[in-house]
């Protein structure tokens, strides 16, 4: 069934259509939730809360737009709200001395999707959130700063630290990978 018809049936209260919409999008949206949340339980809660919002606000979906992208946006915002409510710790980065780490480019390409996902889940929540929003979702630093109610420099620092954290975890996973460490002052990117 196409998305316009599916949405129309959901809005009319057709439970089969609602189940079909949920079943079609829940697996990929759960993956989004797992990237942002600290635990499986929190991810499941965000998925449930997000889909409640989807069904409540389905009439506001612009049928000319992609339904999956609209649902994804709601799910991401639900996860971010959950993180704010959990009072995720954001570290201010201004005038801080930082060690920057770089790994061989092909070290990341040797990782499987599952390995990379596991590495991301091991990162602190602040780093992981900014990394997901910037690298996976494609938001700019100014947008992320607004969404998370943090300064742009804090956003950049979280991204920088996320990259360093990821590089260190890759070298732990692949000890044969060479990496360089250098010191810098202020934020980079």
Distance between CA atoms of 174 and 160, rounded to whole angstroms?
21
pLDDT, one tens digit per residue, over 97-140 is 344 444 444 555 667 778 878 888 888 888 999 999 998 889 99
Which residues neighbour 45 within 8 Å (Cβ) at sequence distance 6 or greater? 82
Per-residue pLDDT band for 164 (boundaries 50, 70, 90) equals confident
Under 8 Å between Cβ of 65 and 75: no
- State the burial class of residue 106 (Cβ atoms within 10 Å of its Cβ: 0-12, 13-18, 19+): exposed
**Whole-model pTM over 0.75:** no
Under 8 Å between Cβ of 123 and 165: yes
Under 8 Å between Cβ of 10 and 21: yes
């Amino acid at each position: 069934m196409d998305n316009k018809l599916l949405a129309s049936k959901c809005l009319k209260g057709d439970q089969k259509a609602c189940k079909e919409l949920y079943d079609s999008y829940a697996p990929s949206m759960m993956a989004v939730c797992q990237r942002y949340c600290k635990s499986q339980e929190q991810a499941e809660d965000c998925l449930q809360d997000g889909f409640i919002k989807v069904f409540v606000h389905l009439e506001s979906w612009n049928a000319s737009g992609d339904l999956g992208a609209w649902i994804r946006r709601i799910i991401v915002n639900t996860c971010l709200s959950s993180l704010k409510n959990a009072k995720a710790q954001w570290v201010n980065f201004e005038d801080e001395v930082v060690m920057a780490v770089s790994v061989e480019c092909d070290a990341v390409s040797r990782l499987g999707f599952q390995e990379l996902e596991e590495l991301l889940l091991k990162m602190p929540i602040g780093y992981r959130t900014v990394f997901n929003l910037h690298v996976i979702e494609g938001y700019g630093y100014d947008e992320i700063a607004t969404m998370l109610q943090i300064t742009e420099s804090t956003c950049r620092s979280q991204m920088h630290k996320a990259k360093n954290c990821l590089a260190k975890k890759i070298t732990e996973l692949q000890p044969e990978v060479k990496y360089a460490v250098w010191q810098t002052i202020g934020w980079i990117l």
